[in-house]
């Protein structure tokens, strides 16, 4: 039987090394790619398909959640597991919304990671023990905030692409750099930027950065 091909992505090399060592030691698992940010992770899975992508939620350039959205859309066969320091319903909710199969807390990574990998590969969801309660609270919060908890798009004025641009703007990349990283033209970036500011009714990068923090797109 061919071994399971795994991509690991985390912006901390020390964690990346630990993940690789642990996973490589399991029979039937092989870490075939590493990435230190979301853009690299997406590129790697597109370049060479993997069975399982393990992504840290908070990464530079493109968050783990944004990378997960791209990966599950463009490589539907790839299972995605999220790693996170945040035991927080909002993140779990988003993780499931972008198509991840599991959410593992870094404070329980030793206990949960291998179980989560096995569950994901069987096509079953894996959540940390308290996640369901957090998820329920988040559902309630969303339905209180926006009336209908089901429909994500109704309250989210920005498209996934625009959210990617927001993250890069908040990380202080220039229009040229953003164009290069997202592989779109500079004109398109400028149009996105103007649309985003108009949709959110904001004036400048400072306000946009604050929005990006609230949305968990960048770490404060």
Which residues are at the interface with other proteins (CB under 8 A)?
Answer: 12, 14-15, 17-19, 21-22, 25, 85-86, 88, 90, 106-111, 113-114, 141, 210, 213-214, 216, 219-220
Handedness of CA 137, 142, 145, 149 (dihedral sign): negative
The residue among 8 and 179 lying less far from other proteins, judged by its C-beta, is: 8
In the complex, least distance from residue 215 CB atom to other proteins, rounded to whole angstroms: 8
Token output for 57: 């939620």
The residue among 72 and 84 lying less far from other proteins, judged by its C-beta, is: 84
**Residues whose CB falls within 8 Å of the CB of residue 132, separated by 6 or more in sequence, listed in order:** none
In the complex, least distance from residue 189 CB atom to other proteins, rounded to whole angstroms: 26
The residue among 68 and 113 lying less far from other proteins, judged by its C-beta, is: 113
In the complex, least distance from residue 138 CB atom to other proteins, rounded to whole angstroms: 9
The residue among 81 and 179 lying less far from other proteins, judged by its C-beta, is: 81
Token output for 7: 């991509």
In the complex, least distance from residue 216 CB atom to other proteins, rounded to whole angstroms: 6
Alpha-carbon 148 to chain mean position: 24
Report H helices in the chain.
13-25, 38-47, 64-74, 89-97, 109-122, 131-146, 152-155, 160-170, 175-182, 186-200, 205-214
In the complex, least distance from residue 144 CB atom to other proteins, rounded to whole angstroms: 9
**Residues whose CB falls within 8 Å of the CB of residue 211, separated by 6 or more in sequence, listed in order:** 166, 200, 202
In the complex, least distance from residue 137 CB atom to other proteins, rounded to whole angstroms: 9
The residue among 109 and 184 lying less far from other proteins, judged by its C-beta, is: 109
Residue 71, classed as helix, strand or coil, is helix
CA atoms of 140 and 133, how far apart (whole Å): 11
The residue among 15 and 184 lying less far from other proteins, judged by its C-beta, is: 15
């Amino acid at each position: 039987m061919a071994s399971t091909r795994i991509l690991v992505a985390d912006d901390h090399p020390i964690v990346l090394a630990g993940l690789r060592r642990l996973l490589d030691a399991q029979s039937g698992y092989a870490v075939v790619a590493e990435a230190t940010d979301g853009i690299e992770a997406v590129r790697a899975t597109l370049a060479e398909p993997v069975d399982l992508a393990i992504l840290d939620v908070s990464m530079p350039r493109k968050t783990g959640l944004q990378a997960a959205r791209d990966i599950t859309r463009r490589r539907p066969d790839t299972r995605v597991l999220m790693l996170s320091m945040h035991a927080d319903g909002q993140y779990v909710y988003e993780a499931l919304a972008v198509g991840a199969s599991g959410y593992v807390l870094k404070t329980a990574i030793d206990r949960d990671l291998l179980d989560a990998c096995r569950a994901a590969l069987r096509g079953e969801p894996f959540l940390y023990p308290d996640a369901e309660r957090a998820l329920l609270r988040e559902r309630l919060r969303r339905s209180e905030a926006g009336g209908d908890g089901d429909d994500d798009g109704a309250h989210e004025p920005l498209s996934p692409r625009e959210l990617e641009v927001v993250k890069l703007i908040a990380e202080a990349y220039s229009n040229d750099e953003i164009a290069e990283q997202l592989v779109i033209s500079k004109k398109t970036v400028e149009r996105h930027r103007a649309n985003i500011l108009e949709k959110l009714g904001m004036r400048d990068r400072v306000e946009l950065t604050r929005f990006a923090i609230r949305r968990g797109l960048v770490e404060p």
